[in-house]
């Protein structure tokens, strides 16, 4: 599944050339220093808490980034679909944690093929019906599929909601020879509200008590069971729950943040500030590493600049893009003080500008985004650049 960048794709440059002078814009750009810092920072955080790190690959679907994360010490890569797992495996990621239920015979066939080729694969289950379907399919293929029970929350996504459902599910797994119970999984990202911190701490304790109960009952396979949760917003609280429970000698605690690798300029920036407030002893913090560069194409009326970038290039959810800097070849970058995005269309961004702003047709503006997942999936490649905005690497994506 290797794919060479198409020279006609948007943003396609030649390595070593200038982003500002030799690259078709708009382009999605990753700053090398911030990227390296974020990968090292989160790996160190996991190590310091005695946990493994399985970054959620669905954020970027960029195998070049997977390789950097694995080389830095990641235990494996988390994915969301069978197709994503196949893409990661084809590019060297052999331990795959699919934080989702595996349903549908064609998807099971993809996963079975990966297991036959040596993938160490895990998926989630939350119903006896799913367990029965997995057992039937993988039994016919003379394979075993490793599963984690998902513990859900009321009003959340998937996952068993109470002990009765959990007991029925564990009993179903025990009678399915092609299905092996290997741990417990949770997702705390949908917990919100005024008491979110307390509620997430309680959820972390629920994960811990469940894995302990199942260990005591002998429900797991011979290996140390996995206990895993944590997105990019509340990872410190989940690590705290695992750490306080002293599970490290008996379980494999795994954190699964994804967005941390490039961070962002608003929602996760704010979440990082909250993490630092809860843990002032932490050294350093995550840094925004992703931006989209685009040209000013029109100045049609006072106070308005139209930029050649739209919804097909950058996320508009949960926030509109954030103007960062004005770039002109041969000049230092300048902050865009007082500028803000008013509206984003398919291919155009309407940016409000203060009176007398020195902005010209053909100028280049960099924009930050909130929640990087919804920017990455708009691109077939992203560009890694140095501080001088020279292109260091063209990194294909595989959405």
| Percentage of the chain lying above the pLDDT 90 cut | 91
Fold of 32-267: TIM Barrel (3.20.20)
**Which residues are CB-neighbours of 71 under 8 A, at least 6 positions away?**
none
Fold of 19-30+286-396: Lyase, Ornithine Decarboxylase; Chain A, domain 1 (2.40.37)
Distance of alpha carbon 202 from alpha carbon 205, whole angstroms = 5
What DSSP letter does each residue of 226-290 carry, written as one string?
EEEE--SSSHHHHHHHHHHTT-TTTSEEEE---GGGT--SSHHHHHHHHHHHH-TT--S-----E
The pair of structure tokens assigned to 150 is 């998902």
pLDDT at 304 over 80: yes
Distance of alpha carbon 262 from alpha carbon 373, whole angstroms = 10
Distance of alpha carbon 44 from alpha carbon 135, whole angstroms = 38
**Which residues are CB-neighbours of 350 under 8 A, at least 6 positions away?**
304, 305, 306, 341, 342, 343, 344
The pair of structure tokens assigned to 161 is 């909601």
Higher-confidence residue: 183 or 5? 183
pLDDT at 211 over 50: yes
| pLDDT recorded at residue 2 | 45
Q: Tell me what the pLDDT averaged over the chain comes to.
A: 95
Alpha helices per DSSP H over 2-127 = 19-22, 32-48, 63-71, 82-90, 105-116
From residue 92, give the alpha-carbon distance in Å to each of 87, 114, 331.
9, 12, 41
The pair of structure tokens assigned to 376 is 């990455």
Distance of alpha carbon 40 from alpha carbon 33, whole angstroms = 11
Q: Sheet holding 77-79: strands in order across?
A: 52-53, 252-255, 226-229, 179-186, 145-151, 120-125, 95-101, 77-79
pLDDT in tens, 341-388: 999 999 999 999 999 899 999 999 999 999 999 999 999 999 999 999
pTM: 0.95
pLDDT at 4 over 70: no
Are 390 and 31 contacting, i.e. CB atoms less than 8 angstroms apart? no
pLDDT at 273 over 90: yes
| pLDDT recorded at residue 245 | 76
Residue 6: pLDDT band by 50, 70, 90 thresholds?
low
Residue matched to tokens 């077939």: 380
Domain parsing of the chain, residue ranges: 19-30+286-396, 32-267
Mean pLDDT, rounded, for 142-160: 95
Distance of alpha carbon 233 from alpha carbon 278, whole angstroms = 12
What DSSP letter does each residue of 104-132 carry, written as one string?
SHHHHHHHHHHHHTT-EEEEEE--HHHHH
pLDDT in tens, 220-257: 977 799 999 999 999 999 999 998 877 888 999 999 99
The phi, psi pair for 286, rounded to 5°, reads -70, 150
Are 51 and 255 contacting, i.e. CB atoms less than 8 angstroms apart? yes
pLDDT in tens, 51-89: 999 999 999 999 999 999 999 999 999 999 999 999 999
Distance of alpha carbon 269 from alpha carbon 23, whole angstroms = 29
Are 355 and 301 contacting, i.e. CB atoms less than 8 angstroms apart? no
Name the 3-class secondary structure at 384. Answer: strand
Residue matched to tokens 């379907």: 133
Distance of alpha carbon 60 from alpha carbon 379, whole angstroms = 10
Residue 12: pLDDT band by 50, 70, 90 thresholds?
low
Instruction: Measure the N-to-C terminal CA separation of the chain; round to a whole number of Å.
Output: 12
Distance of alpha carbon 61 from alpha carbon 7, whole angstroms = 20
| pLDDT recorded at residue 246 | 76
Residue 16: pLDDT band by 50, 70, 90 thresholds?
confident
Query: Could you check whether 19-30+286-396 and 32-267 share the same CATH topology?
Result: no
pLDDT in tens, 316-348: 999 999 999 999 999 999 999 999 999 999 999
- Stretch among 21-25, 86-90, 244-248, 303-307 having the lowest mean pLDDT: 244-248
- Identify the H or E element spanning 79: strand 77-79
């Amino acid at each position: 599944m290797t794919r060479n960048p198409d020279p006609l794709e948007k943003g396609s440059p030649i390595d070593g050339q200038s982003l500002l002078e030799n690259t078709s814009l708009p382009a999605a750009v990753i700053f090398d220093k911030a990227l390296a810092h974020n990968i090292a920072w989160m790996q160190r955080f996991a190590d310091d808490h005695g946990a493994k790190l399985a970054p959620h690959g669905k954020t970027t679907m960029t195998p070049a980034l997977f390789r950097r994360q694995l080389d830095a010490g990641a235990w494996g890569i988390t994915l969301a679909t069978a197709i994503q797992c196949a893409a990661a495996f084809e590019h060297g990621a052999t331990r795959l944690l699919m934080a989702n239920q595996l349903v549908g015979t064609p998807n099971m066939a993809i996963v079975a093929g990966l297991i036959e080729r040596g993938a160490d694969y895990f998926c989630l289950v939350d119903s006896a019906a799913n367990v029965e379907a997995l057992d039937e399919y993988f039994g016919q293929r003379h394979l075993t599929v490793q599963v984690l029970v998902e513990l859900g929350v009321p009003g959340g996504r998937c996952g068993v909601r109470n002990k009765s459902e959990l007991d029925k599910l564990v009993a179903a797994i025990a009678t399915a020879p092609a299905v092996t119970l290997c741990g417990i999984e949770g997702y705390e990202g949908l917990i919100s509200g005024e008491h979110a911190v307390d509620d997430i701490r309680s959820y972390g304790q629920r994960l811990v008590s469940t894995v302990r109960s199942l260990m005591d009952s002998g429900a797991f396979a011979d290996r140390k069971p996995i206990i895993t949760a944590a997105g990019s917003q509340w990872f410190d609280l989940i690590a705290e729950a695992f750490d306080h429970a002293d599970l490290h000698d008996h379980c494999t605690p795994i954190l699964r943040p994804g967005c941390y690798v490039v961070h962002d300029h608003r929602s996760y920036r704010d979440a990082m500030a909250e993490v630092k407030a809860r843990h002032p002893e932490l050294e350093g913090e995550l840094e925004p590493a992703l931006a989209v560069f685009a040209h000013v194409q029109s100045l049609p009326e006072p106070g308005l600049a139209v930029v050649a970038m739209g919804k097909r290039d950058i996320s508009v959810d949960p926030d509109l893009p954030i103007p960062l800097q004005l770039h002109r070849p041969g000049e230092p970058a300048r902050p865009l003080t007082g500028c803000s995005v008013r509206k984003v269309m398919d291919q155009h961004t309407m940016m409000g500008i203060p009176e007398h702003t020195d902005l010209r047709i053909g100028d280049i503006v960099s924009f930050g985004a909130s929640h990087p997942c919804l920017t990455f999936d708009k691109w077939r490649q992203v560009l890694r650049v140095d501080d001088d905005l020279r292109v260091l690497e063209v990194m294909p994506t595989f959405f």
